[in-house]
Structure 1
Amino acid sequence: MTDAILVVNAGSSSLKFALYPETSNPTAALLRGKIAGIGSRCVFSARDGEGRALSPSEGMSVDAGAALDDLIPTLLEWLKNHRGGVNILAAGHRVVHGGRHHTGPARVTEALLDELTTLEPLAPLHQVHNVKAIRAVAAALPGLPQVACFDTSFHRTQDRLAQLFALPRALTDAGIIRYGFHGLSYDYIASTLPHHLGARADGRVIVAHLGNGASMCAMQARRSVATSMGFTALDGLMMGQRCGTIDPGVLLHLLDCLGMTTQEVGHLLYETSGLLGVSGISNDMAILQSSPAVEAREAIELFCYRAAGELAMLAAAIKGLDTIVFTAGIGEHSALVRRLICQQLEWMGVALDTDANERDAVRISSAASSVDVLVIPTDEEIVMAGATHRLTTGVHAPFPSHGASHP
């Protein structure tokens, strides 16, 4: 039987999981899997530590309409018997919102769960499912140590000014501030930068986490100085289905003049805007890039226009720019998006190596570029696995750097 740390990322329609060896410095997963289509048409898929897909006979059997509460115990039972059996020592969970006081991951207690539940309105697409998964694991494996890993924690290093809205102080004191998200991804990128940049890793870096959810983080000394997302994950960049920054007056107009309800406005902002709304076709960048439709091209160009503008604004927070890092689904795989964004930043000294960009190479800036431009795959799960081991065993070790050595 294999001792392992379980990592869980639960969403409204999918459940991602991974197993890692019992160590504070994990370097690779033993198993990664996903259950998609929760509540409608559940589909299970998984790959072993070598990246090989499990055969259908090895896969987990799931009911088509199973809910998250049902899938968690089924998954745990399947893991217990998978390839000689897995002994789960602890579980780490991605929790999108940790509020203003959590500066790192935390051991799960009933008091913590109650606190996280109060934050559900600030991350309605994620938080309720994150908490539900924790409770489901606790019900199936009573007494199992669990750790909540927050997407907001990485940004608590920001100065007060970077976190403030220009609102009355009473509202600020009540917690209406800029929190920032995608912190687990930024944590991983910060850990691996020395391998790619050497001493320059502590310079002025902007990381573009571009996926269906998208944000940017300006770092110095590999700590968050400013970020594009704010009070909720709606702010900042244009995303797959979210519009990003919008004039608040538009929302008042929708409510007061067009008679929309708050629920309808919420659905508009979270579900039907962004790439999907502008194109009228899809929120999937790959589909839009293959489409001949004028609307698809306009959606892509607006996505890149907004991203370049946000990046230039974040550069002001760190007084210049030494490195850009692209990561996440779009950032790692769309040469077109990277090219369109960087073309708008040529005035900042950004110059791409066209061939390297098309190959999705790690370094895609040309020799003439005064700004390093890198493509680094993110790994939020490995950050969670290491944190879970450290908080449940008391063994503290420096987080490892991953990736290729710096030039």
Structure 2
Amino acid sequence: MSNRRILTINGGSSSIKFAVYHFGHSLQRGLTGKIDRIGFASTQFTFNDDVNETKTVDCTASDHVAAVEFLADWLDSRKILADLTAIGHRIVHGMHLTQPQIVTPALIEELHQVCPYAPDHLPGELAILKAFGQRVPNVPQVVCFDTAFHRTMPRVATQLPIPRRYEAKGVQRYGFHGLSYSYLMQELRRLGDPSATSGRVILAHLGNGASMAAVRDGKCIDTSMAFTPLAGLPMGTRSGDLDPGVFRYLIQHEGMTPDQFHQMANEESGLLGLSETSSDMRDLLAIESTDIRAAEAIELFCYQAKKLIGSYAAAMGGIDTLVFAGGVGENAAQIRDRICKSLQFLGIELNEKRNAENAPVISPMVSRVGVRVIPTDEEIIIARSVAQLTESQH
């Protein structure tokens, strides 16, 4: 089996990330890459080859199917498709599904029924599944659900305070970023952190998409994203939590349609909307001293993150470990510092030098709460799930 490979696919609304793992006694990552801006004129294909050199080329991909064709041709030219043991996919929404599953026609049909709950992601992800199924029909495909991690939440954390009849239609809080959170918890266990199995952990996945999860005794009890990934923290371009009355006001007085509101809340809000400059935290940090809009966008992000940590500590009766992950969480020491400032009453303190270095542990050696920085890895979670599931079939 040492020459066999697993391909992982992480499809977004306008991108496809992939990684190739050599599948032997352990999983070794080889090629990785991304097709970005699918459906736009400037679609780009970026990849890291086996000697870890990053290369970028232009490509044409009018939709996810065209992107899969391009990627499959490229993989085929490198003799990878013929060696595939299986393909693993991140699926953003699984409703009640909690375990990775091998793709069958019945499962595809079930996922089609879920599309109204994730219209920005699921149709593209299903198109990717179908396209790979046609290209390599004899290679099993496995789906891993981003919502599955949160299925342990108690009922009180899943309910929405709207008329009860809508819950029967599936309108409830689901949560997302679950593959990232699964990896972070696995890493805490690997590192021997006792809070991973019998403590109170807050996981902060802070990137262009941002959310947090509260985990007690190894099980998720709450998370900031809700019915959709739009809820919770302000993000790169997403608004996060918003008073529903804003929707009515903009429809009545600005002539906005529901689709226009959806576009605004998802693509034009968050850091981008507040700063009127950029959705990228690095850009905003670079200009905050001269641009009040950038400074206020950063301040609001950190303020909301601080409030969320406090509310989750209240829900769990305290906190033992805080983990930062995601592009911002892993790399922006200033943001971690501002979020944690004035949280000493919870036992959260940072070591200034270690935080500046993005060290694995950024709390003091003696501290009530361990504060960690863990680079997340959704792809390895997919690959491990695929390996486990396909091995169990033999």
Shared fold per TM-score greater than 0.5: yes
Q: Paired residue for 2:312, among 311, 314, 317?
A: 314
- Residue-by-residue CA offset, 1:111-147 (whole Å, 9 max, x unaligned): 2222222323332332221111111101111132111
**TM-score normalised according to structure 1 size:** 0.90
Aligned equivalents of 2:64, 2:191: Cα separation in 1 = 39
What's the counterpart of residue 104 of structure 1?
99
The SS at the match of 2:29 is coil
Match status 1:29 vs 2:29 = yes
Q: 1:269 to 1:256 in 2, by over 3 A?
A: same
Name the counterpart of 1:183.
Answer: 178
> What's the CA shift string for 1:314-373, capped at 9, x where partnerless?
122222101100001110010111010000422212111111111000111123532111
Q: Is 2:226 the counterpart of 1:241?
A: no
Equivalent AA in structure 2 for residue 5 of structure 1: I
Alignment gaps of 5+ in structure 2:
none
Q: CA deviation at 1:43?
A: 1.9
1:115 aligns with 2:110: yes
Match of 1:330 among 328, 331, 342: 328
Residue aligning to 1:205: 201
Tell me if the contact between 2:45 and 2:59 (Cα under 8 Å) persists in the aligned partners: no
- CA positional deviation for 1:85: 7.3
Conserved 8 A contact 1:2-1:85: no
Q: 1:10 corresponds to which residue? A: 11
Q: Say what the alpha-carbon RMSD is for the aligned residues.
A: 2.1
The equivalent residue for 2:258 is: 262
Given that residues 72 and 81 in structure 2 are in contact (C-alpha distance below 8 angstroms), is that contact kept between their aligned partners in structure 1? no
Alignment of 1:40-59 (within 5 A): 40-49=41-50, 51-53=52-54
Q: State the identity %.
A: 42
Q: Give the whole-Å Cα distance in 2 for the aligned partners of 1:198 and 1:395.
A: 33
Q: Which deviates the most, 329-338 or 67-76?
A: 67-76
- Given candidates 360, 366, 369, the residue that maps to 2:367 is 369
* 1:130 has 2:130 as partner: no
Tell which deviates more after alignment, 368-377 or 250-259: 250-259
Report the Cα distance in structure 2 between the residues aligned to 1:121 and 1:239, rounded to whole angstroms: 23
**C-alpha separation in 2, matches of 1:240 and 1:21:** 34
Q: 1 CA distance for matches of 2:33 and 2:252?
A: 45
CA distance in 1, matches of 2:342, 2:111: 40
Task: Judge conservation of contact 1:229–1:235 (CA < 8 Å) in 2.
Answer: yes
Deviations 1:250-294 (A, max 9, x none): 222222343311011101110101000000001001111111311
Aligned residues: 389
Aligned AA for 2:140? P
Q: In the aligned structure 1, how far is the partner of 2:163 from the partner of 2:63?
A: 42
| Local SS of the residue matching 2:317 | coil
CA pair 85-142 structure 1, distance change in 2 beyond 3 A: closer
Q: Does 1:174 align with 2:169?
A: yes
SS of the residue aligned with 1:360? coil
The 1:49–1:327 alpha-carbon spacing in structure 2 relative to 1, beyond 3 Å, is farther
2:211 and 2:223 in contact (8 A); partners too: yes
Matching residue's letter, 2:175: G
> Shift of residue 198 of structure 1?
3.1
- The answer to whether the 8 Å contact 1:80/1:87 transfers is no
TM-score, length of structure 2 as denominator length:
0.93
Secondary structure at 2:381 match in 1: helix
Are 2:138 and 1:140 equivalent residues in the alignment? no
1:250 corresponds to: 246
Which of the residues 222, 226, 230 maps onto 1:226?
222
1:113 is aligned with what amino acid?
Answer: I
Q: Which runs of 5+ in 1 are unaligned?
A: 397-407
Judged with a 3 Å threshold, the aligned counterparts in structure 2 of structure 1 residues 23 and 395 are, in CA distance, closer, same or farther, namely farther
Describe the shift of the 1:163–1:145 C-alpha distance in structure 2 as closer, same or farther (beyond 3 A). Answer: same
Deviation at 1:187, TM superposition (A): 0.3
